[in-house]
Amino acid sequence: MRFDTRLVHVGQQPVPGTGDVVPPIHLSTTYDRTAQDPPRYFYVRGEQPNREALEECLAALEDARHATVYTSGQAAATTALSLVPPGRLVLASDDVYGGTHQLLAAAAERGVTVRQVDLADPAERDRALGECGPELAMVWLETPTNPLLKVADIAAVSDLAHRHGALVVVDNTLAGPVLQRPLAHGADVTLYSTTKSVAGHLDVLGGALVYQDEELHRRFLAYRTVAGNAPGGFDCYLTHRGLKTLSLRTARQVENTRAVVAALLAEPSVARVSYPGLPAHPQHAVAARQMTAPGALAAFEYRGDPAKLLDRVRLFTAAVSLGGVRSLIECPALMTHRPVPPEVRRRLGLTDRLIRISPGIEDPADLVEDLVTALRDGA
Ligand SMILES: *Cc1c(COP(=O)(O)O)cnc(C)c1O
């Protein structure tokens, strides 16, 4: 079965007896042991049919043996970081999701050493990984990064990290499994906030870890059962329903992003458009090698007033999140990355005038018209 067919079929076998082509949403929190042969289900915090169906599909998308899903992307990230004991080192991308910055700070508080560098810069990457010793437990990679869209070479990072015996976790939320499959490039764990493109309809929170290793699987399942951060049947059903159209949605979002980026480049009020699909993007070649398309997210510097721009758009909604059917626009310094200390934002180049857009699946002409009109009004 090829990728697009797996999206629709894996974990969705017709139900014997009734013939439902969509498996039912299971709401029960406990299971009658005597009605099962052999007994598989015990209590909902540990095992749940809709959750297992979603995991089977997510694993299949990366040819992985296992996936575990969580109540949120943050719960998935917390789980992955729980593997690192105090005294060991996590080397992370410098430009990461706002919530990841906070989770890394929490790990540092419990005694984990955290170092953040620009893993998209080959010289800085090689130097940082060359300086690490056996204390390196994990490399935390986000690529493309959020919101600056820097692209790191997953294969090169994985190769260097594995020389130290470290685990490589890639936050693949921005690209999604249609555009990038980190395990194929040597990563050990792929992380998703399924809240974004995987579910895609801006109506359900969730997270996932995807990996091959049996020992990791045992640990992740044990941790989830005691931490109690497994999603319920209805949320898994919604996420799985969205997942079926991921390829179609992603293709349209990439097309729409290209159209909007082309329009942005022609606007005098816009400076420094970041999109890995542009030949001028510093890691354009890496993106072309490891992604099937350059993504559905772009960022730019606006010479006008960002608050005015967010107020003037009509189809783009001024809101955080990304990857949904509806177009979103945000100013990271005012919204998603507000918790990041101002001096860190300055160092990263995350200015107060940076705007991030996440085009949805609407008609591209409407999106271009909406954004260009608002840009001119606010300039
Ligand atoms: C949203 C997001 C997260 C966190 O996911 P939640 O589902 O909101 O908990 C992590 N990483 C990236 C890149 C994200 O965009």
Q: What is the CATH number of the domain that holds 79?
A: 3.40.640.10
The beta-strand segments (E) located in the chain are: 66-70, 89-93, 113-117, 136-142, 167-171, 189-193, 207-211, 270-274, 298-302, 317-318, 328-330, 354-358
Where in the sequence is the domain holding 312, given as residue range(s)?
246-377
Same domain, 239 and 253: no
Mean pLDDT calculated for residue range 167-173: 98
pTM of the model: 0.97
Mean pLDDT calculated for residue range 101-118: 96
371 exposed, middle or buried (CB, 10 Å; 0-12, 13-18, 19+)?
buried
Q: Distance (Å, rounded) from C-alpha 59 to C-alpha 190?
A: 10
CA of 61 relative to ligand 1 center, distance in Å: 20
Same domain, 126 and 199: yes
> Using one digit for the tens of pLDDT, what is the confidence trace for 53-96?
999 999 999 999 999 999 999 999 999 999 999 999 999 999 88
Contact present, 327 and 365 (Cβ < 8 Å): no
What's the number of domains the chain is made of? 2
Q: Distance (Å, rounded) from C-alpha 207 to C-alpha 97?
A: 14
In short, whether 71's Cβ falls inside 6 Å of ligand 1 is no
Same domain, 269 and 370: yes
3-state SS class at 58:
helix
Asked about 43 being catalytic, the answer comes back as no
Instruction: Among 219, 243, 267, give the residue marking a domain's end.
Output: 243
In short, whether 98's Cβ falls inside 6 Å of ligand 1 is no
Structure token pair of residue 43? 């209590």
Is residue 147 predicted with pLDDT exceeding 90? Answer: no
Same domain, 7 and 146: yes
Mean pLDDT calculated for residue range 243-267: 98
Which CATH number do you get for residue 252?
A: 3.90.1150.10
Is residue 198 predicted with pLDDT exceeding 90? Answer: yes
Instruction: Among 243, 274, 309, give the residue marking a domain's end.
Output: 243
The torsion angles phi and psi of 327, rounded to 5 degrees, stand at -70, 135
Q: Which residues contact 307 (CB under 8 A, 6 or more apart)?
A: 331, 334
Instruction: Among 187, 212, 243, give the residue marking a domain's end.
Output: 243
pLDDT value for 146: 85
Asked about 97 being catalytic, the answer comes back as yes
Is residue 321 predicted with pLDDT exceeding 90? Answer: yes
Q: Distance (Å, rounded) from C-alpha 172 to C-alpha 175?
A: 6
Mean pLDDT calculated for residue range 308-320: 96
Same domain, 250 and 118: no
329 DSSP assignment:
E
CA nearest ligand 1 atom 5, residue: 73
Q: Which residues contact 163 (CB under 8 A, 6 or more apart)?
A: none
> Using one digit for the tens of pLDDT, what is the confidence trace for 115-142?
999 999 999 999 999 999 999 999 999 9
In short, whether 76's Cβ falls inside 6 Å of ligand 1 is no
Same domain, 353 and 224: no
Distinct helix (H) and strand (E) counts, the chain: 14, 12
pLDDT value for 378: 78
Q: Distance (Å, rounded) from C-alpha 370 to C-alpha 258?
A: 15
Asked about 171 being catalytic, the answer comes back as yes
Pairing of strands 66-70, 354-358: unpaired
Pairing of strands 66-70, 207-211: antiparallel
Asked about 45 being catalytic, the answer comes back as yes
Is residue 292 predicted with pLDDT exceeding 90? Answer: yes
Structure token pair of residue 296? 């559905």
pLDDT value for 344: 84
Question: Which strands form 136-142's sheet, in the order they lie side by side?
Answer: 66-70, 207-211, 189-193, 167-171, 136-142, 89-93, 113-117
